Structure 1
């Protein structure tokens, strides 16, 4: 009979703890007690260690077996990369030989795979010039994959933006929470990336923490993909004039939007807020607005954000509430991905002359 009390990692010392008991009548005449680590995936022995059997009165009370009272074992070994990812078995062996061979009696315990991977993203801060991220990832695979990277990924365009290799940083709180995962005590990351917010305004960013066996972060790796973060884009606008004359309306104003870096087509839309339908739209050429740039110097297109458009008005619109919409779009028809600024509705006069 046998039982494995513990078979896990001590993150604070990066060692493997093994304890349990093995009672067998066949231990008579076999004075050498070995614990063998066996890779059941690759079918090979990883190491054997002779141990001193310890007192187990609890086992003797339950089992009338020859050595039940002295059937315990305890072992601490360095956590080897060979243990990670495969099915690992503990074998308790009583032998009459000093090398553990000769005449012996084995007990094979159930296999265990060391492949835990836990993580958390504590913070994502996006500014005009930087992205600051912090968090942690604990992974048994880090024993084999000792290069830790943090990757900034654009989930909108499905491409990597940049990556940084990070140094191991202590996280005692994580170690307390996950004491049996290999690198829990050295799992923290805190990284700042250079970043042009306007380029990615409206995009969804994803932070990836990665352990890799390669200096470039590729080859064999273990990732933690964190939740999406939408890059905030500044979007400001103002309607300077709305002039009705001779059956038409001329509107002018400005819209400055970070997303215009990717949405370069500028439209002005006339919308009937009374009947909730679009009246007309025009694609316009942006006009220089140095006054807007002075007020909003960090918005991508503030220096050239002005617009002017003229629309014909139908008599059926008399008395209706009309809204002007300024829109940046990546499509020739003004649809696709777009960023709108809706100005306050204005009621048309009773006469359009």
Structure 2
């Protein structure tokens, strides 16, 4: 593939980027431009910014700037942050008309409000006569609508996706995340030349003034999630090297290359790919999708996912692959509620899901004394359906049946002690081996429930013991 211009982005973490020889070295490696972090949020500014921009320009490279946003879906704050970015751009010597990037990385908020706030920011940038650019990670596309952002502001996209964390000197374009027709650059590494600096390839000349080049190969693992015991894989891959390779496979291996599963698939329509990357042959029919049985052998691994075109019906032979990764070592949990009842019970409710829970069908909730580091009580439970968790955490195995509810015996001796709740999946009936745990945050044993002097509490007991406390209140123990 024809060499595009490379671009480095730097911030206050790279004070060495103030020096001419820093950029001279990178220029010799093919870098044609530098993107400097100017500001963040509503108050932080880069004290090295002016010197970094001056050094970039001194070496004959193109200078751009970016602002790291904190506004999420708050349109009012987005405008405030835009005003700070514009002021910094002018004070630090960023040329008028240069790209000024909105760096959007907060994984929170709602898509509609995030999108509108981004539009408000970029409209300010455009009105200030800088070129609006939107930056984010390909895996965050559910948090913003870039097509709406582009339509409202004319902004182009600088997309980030790292095929590897190892040091690289050039991108593997088979991994190109072509999620929009308006991608101007791809940040393909945070370890350029092994020096732990972010490196990008400029596809359209926005950051380097170089001419646009054709992209003829690309792919993306759009989604992997669980539906019951099935692992669902979705994505796309198209390449000019796929001609004559009429068999299509998704293959799963571990990180050592040991094959775990493969499935022959029929390609599906992807008009979005054809629109975004019209120069890739077959982009309109490049969808890859398969359902695999999830096995204990897959659990806890960083799976390699191969999208393959091959001339061999068995999936071998001459092949061209797109390779991505699926993390099957994830867990998620939340303790929804905890209370002490008049029946001297500590009641806990929550959920815990884990990719490593497969084959571990016995579930326990444990009350643990953190100070003495010993288990106090253990309750074996049945799973509780949690469709809300299944929807929110669909990439974690077992999330739909991840709920739990348990009660422990509780008395005054536990008040104020440092306690912890442990949720456990185990392959053994007693829960003492072959298990995976989630330890919730420690807490101080709560007080026993106290009547307010007005409310009546009626209950039936076989035995009642009443003790007068120092403050005059009564401690009632009922059986």
TM tier relative to shorter chain: 0.5 to 0.7
Deviation of the 1:233 alpha carbon: 6.3
Secondary structure of the 2:297 match is: helix
> Could you tell me which residue of structure 2 aligns to residue 9 of structure 1?
225
Contact kept, 8 Å, 1:137 with 1:187, in 2: the verdict is yes
Pick from 446, 465, 470 the counterpart of residue 298 of structure 1.
465
Is 1:84 aligned to 2:288, yes or no?
no
Contact kept, 8 Å, 1:36 with 1:92, in 2: the verdict is yes
Pick from 235, 252, 267 the counterpart of residue 53 of structure 1.
267
Change (3 A) 1:78 1:191: same
Is 1:141 aligned to 2:348, yes or no?
no
> Could you tell me which residue of structure 2 aligns to residue 310 of structure 1?
none
Deviation of the 1:5 alpha carbon: 4.3
> Could you tell me which residue of structure 2 aligns to residue 208 of structure 1?
422
> Could you tell me which residue of structure 1 aligns to residue 309 of structure 2?
94
Deviations 1:152-187 (A, max 9, x none): 112343221111121111122222332332222111
> Could you tell me which residue of structure 2 aligns to residue 64 of structure 1?
279
CA–CA distance in 2 between the matches of 1:34 and 1:45?
Answer: 13
Q: How do residues 239-318 of structure 1 correspond to structure 2 at under 5 angstroms?
A: 297-298=464-465, 302=467
Deviations 1:46-104 (A, max 9, x none): 11100011222333341423332322211122322222211111101111112111222
* Residues paired across the two proteins, number: 242
Change (3 A) 1:109 1:204: closer
User: For the aligned residues, what is the CA RMSD?
Assistant: 2.8
Secondary structure of the 2:465 match is: coil
Contact kept, 8 Å, 1:30 with 1:96, in 2: the verdict is yes
Contact kept, 8 Å, 1:202 with 1:233, in 2: the verdict is no
Contact kept, 8 Å, 2:266 with 2:288, in 1: the verdict is yes
Deviation of the 1:189 alpha carbon: 1.3
Q: How do residues 184-199 of structure 1 correspond to structure 2 at under 5 angstroms?
A: 184-195=399-410, 197-199=411-413
Change (3 A) 1:98 1:194: same
Is 1:118 aligned to 2:333, yes or no?
yes
Deviations 1:14-72 (A, max 9, x none): 422212211122222221101101111x4311111000112223333414233323222
Secondary structure of the 2:378 match is: strand
Contact kept, 8 Å, 1:86 with 1:113, in 2: the verdict is yes
Q: Which runs of 5+ in 1 are unaligned?
A: 236-295, 306-339, 344-353
Report which of the two has the higher share of strand: 1
Structure-2-length-normalised TM-score: 0.46
Contact kept, 8 Å, 1:9 with 1:79, in 2: the verdict is no
Contact kept, 8 Å, 1:137 with 1:224, in 2: the verdict is no
Change (3 A) 1:153 1:126: farther
> Could you tell me which residue of structure 2 aligns to residue 73 of structure 1?
288
Secondary structure of the 1:173 match is: helix
Secondary structure of the 2:400 match is: helix
Q: Which runs of 5+ in 2 are unaligned?
A: 1-216, 451-462, 473-479
- Of structures 1 and 2, the one with the larger relative CO (CA 8 A, separation 6+) is 1
Secondary structure of the 1:81 match is: coil
Contact kept, 8 Å, 1:30 with 1:94, in 2: the verdict is yes
> Could you tell me which residue of structure 2 aligns to residue 325 of structure 1?
none
Report which of the two has the higher share of helix: 2
CA–CA distance in 2 between the matches of 1:56 and 1:158?
Answer: 55
Deviations 1:182-235 (A, max 9, x none): 22211111122234x144344233222122233322334122324414243699
Deviations 1:1-24 (A, max 9, x none): 33224332235x342221221112
CA–CA distance in 2 between the matches of 1:177 and 1:145?
Answer: 23
Larger Rg: 1
